Amino acid sequence: MFLSFAMGATECVLLSMMAFDRYVAICNPLRYPVVMSKAAYMPMAVISWAAGSAASMVQTSLAMRLTFCGDNVINHFTCEILAVLKLACADISINVISMGVTNVIFLGIPVLFISFSYVFILATILRIPSAEGRKKAFSTCSAHLTVVIIFYGTILFMYGKPKSKDPLGADKQDLADKLISLFYGVVTPMLNPIIYSLRNKDVKAAVRNLVVFQKHVNQ
């Protein structure tokens, strides 16, 4: 539970940090080497991991202090904290409040920061006179934007949507939660190397060669 929550919270902060990196690269390209120096991005990475680990420590410790009853079978693929809280026999109001605060800090604020960053990025791209320049600028942040949409789209649906009170829909909701968790917990991390490496010319050439080779084999 601690590791999964910590990595998810850390990625939320890292994606917002990467949005700032893309903002500097597009809006202030001449100052990029100075602004995003090693003295800047190393503390940014450390802060992201420290914040994610601290949030996970709080949520995990609060969950482990609860009293559990019944068969204690977690209706999930992993020890997902929302699924664990459903098994508690005690009052979870403190957990709900702390989870709400955590959602604001690690979901709400980063989403706003990323949104504002891309507003300035889009405004800068639209001011570029040449179509080739606009295409190059957009390709600089396309990979990050793709990951943001996939990751935040699924995790906001998981932690931000209201829970159904209809008992007949509880099973469907639990199944949906399981499938959604696979996207931000498994699918997105698997896609990250592919999405980010597609901008690499060598990778693009290798993919094209693989496709051509596959066509020849099939023929």
Instruction: Dig out the tokens for 80 from the structure.
Output: 């997902």
The domain ranges of the chain are: 2-218
Name the average pLDDT for the chain.
81
One-letter amino acid for residue 37 of the chain: S
User: pLDDT class for 51, splitting at 50, 70, 90?
Assistant: very high
- Does residue 60 or residue 210 have the better pLDDT? 60
In the chain, what is the straight-line distance between the N-terminal and C-terminal CA atoms, in Å?
49
Q: Is the pLDDT of residue 164 over 80?
A: no
Strongest mean pLDDT among 130-139, 181-190, 205-214: 130-139
When mean pLDDT is compared over 92-101, 198-207, 210-219, the highest value belongs to 92-101
Residue 128 has pLDDT above 70, yes or no: yes
Going by pLDDT thresholds of 50, 70 and 90, the confidence category of residue 66 is: confident
Residue 52: pLDDT band (50, 70, 90) is very high
Residue with tokens 């604001």: 104
Q: Which helix (H) or strand (E) holds 42?
A: helix 38-64
> Does the structure show a pLDDT above 50 at 168?
no
Instruction: Output DSSP code: residue 162.
Output: P
- The per-residue pLDDT for 47 is 92
With beta carbons less than 8 A apart as the criterion, state whether 18 and 144 touch. Answer: yes
Rounded CA gap, 105 and 107, in Å?
6
Q: Which CATH number among 3.40.1010.10, 3.50.50.60, 3.30.479.30, 1.20.1070.10 corresponds to the domain 2-218?
A: 1.20.1070.10
Q: What integer pLDDT is reported at residue 219 of this predicted model? A: 66
Say if residue 211's pLDDT is above 80: no
